[in-house]
A and B are shown apart, each in its own frame.
Chain A
C-alpha cells in the first residue's frame, strides 16, 4: 500500500481559540473516519504568516487577505451548519492529495 505523506493543516480564526477549535475537532473527526492522519496547527489569522511555510493548506473561518501562496478553504459552514458536508469533503480531498 502506498502511504500518503502526512499533511499539515493550518486552522485559523480571529482569536485562534473559538471557531478554530470547533473546526479543528470537526476536521480531526472527519479525517479519522477516513483513516487519515493529519497534523493541525491552530492559530490566529494574524499568525498565519509565521506558520504558513510549514502548512500544506489553510482552513479559516474568516476571509483571508493573504494565504501566502497556500490553498485556503473557508470553513465557516462548519460553524453555521449550512453547507457543512461539502466543506468537509473538500478538506478531506485536500488531505488525500
Chain B
C-alpha cells in the first residue's frame, strides 16, 4: 500500500482561513464531492459524528483532527487535508468537554474498515510525527504536501 494513493493534490487545501470547524468541513467536503469520492450525505454524517464523538487529538505541539463518518457516505477512499492559517477549535476525542486548538485537519473518507487497516496505521504514525506535521504546515499548495508525504513514505521503507 502506498500512502500517496489516498492523498491527492486536488483534495488538499493549504493555509486555509476558517473561523470554525464547520467551515473547514464544508471546504474539504466540497473537494471530496467535486472529485467523486463521497456522496452528498457525507457532510451531514461528518457533522453528526463530530458532535457526538469529537475527533480533535491533543498531541505534542501541533494538534490534529481526523473527522470521518460511516462508510455508506463514501464512494472511494481518500484523505482530504487542510492546513489552517490560524487554529480552529475542536473538541477532544478523549474528553468532549475539552477544547483542542487544531492546525491540521485530515478528513478521512473510508468505505470499508478492514481493507484500510494499513492506511489507518500509517496515518496514525504520520500524526505522531511532529517534524512531518511541521513540514506539512509549511507547505504551499497540495503539490508540496503530496511531495512531503511521498518522501516520508520512502524514508519509512528504508
**Partner-B contacts on A (CB < 8 A):** 13-19, 21-22, 25, 42, 45, 61-63, 74, 76, 79-82
Nearest chain A CB to B70's CB is how many angstroms away?
6
- A42 CB contacts on chain B under 8 angstroms: 113
Q: Is the CB–CB distance between A14 and B94 below 8 Å? A: no
14 pairs, CB–CB < 8 Å, chain A vs chain B: A14-B49, A15-B70, A16-B113, A18-B110, A18-B113, A19-B93, A22-B124, A61-B93, A62-B53, A62-B93, A62-B96, A80-B128, A81-B59, A82-B58
Q: Is the CB–CB distance between A25 and B117 below 8 Å? A: yes
Please pick, from A15, A22, A61, the residue contacting B49 in the complex, using a CB distance under 8 A: A15
Whether A18 contacts B66 in the complex (CB less than 8 A), given A74-B94, A76-B94, comes out as yes
**What 0/1 pattern do residues 45 to 78 of B give for CB contact below 8 A with A?**
0000100110101111000001011110000000
Q: Is the CB–CB distance between B93 and A17 below 8 Å? A: no
**Partner-A contacts on B (CB < 8 A):** 49, 52-53, 55, 57-60, 66, 68-71, 93-96, 108, 110, 112-114, 116-117, 120-121, 124, 127-128
Q: Is the CB–CB distance between A21 and B116 below 8 Å? A: yes
* Assembled-state Cα–Cα distance A25/B116 (Å): 12
Nearest chain A CB to B97's CB is how many angstroms away?
9
* Assembled-state Cα–Cα distance A63/B112 (Å): 24
Q: Please name 10 further chain A to chain B contacts, defined as beta carbons within 8 Å, in addition to the given A13-B53, A19-B120, A22-B121, sorted by A numbering.
A: A14-B53, A14-B55, A17-B113, A18-B68, A18-B120, A21-B114, A62-B93, A62-B96, A79-B93, A81-B59
* Assembled-state Cα–Cα distance A16/B52 (Å): 13
Q: Is the CB–CB distance between A80 and B53 below 8 Å? A: no
Question: Which 3 pairs between the two chains have the least Cβ-Cβ distance?
Answer: A14-B53, A81-B128, A17-B113
Nearest chain B CB to A69's CB is how many angstroms away?
22
Nearest chain A CB to B132's CB is how many angstroms away?
13
* Assembled-state Cα–Cα distance A5/B132 (Å): 43
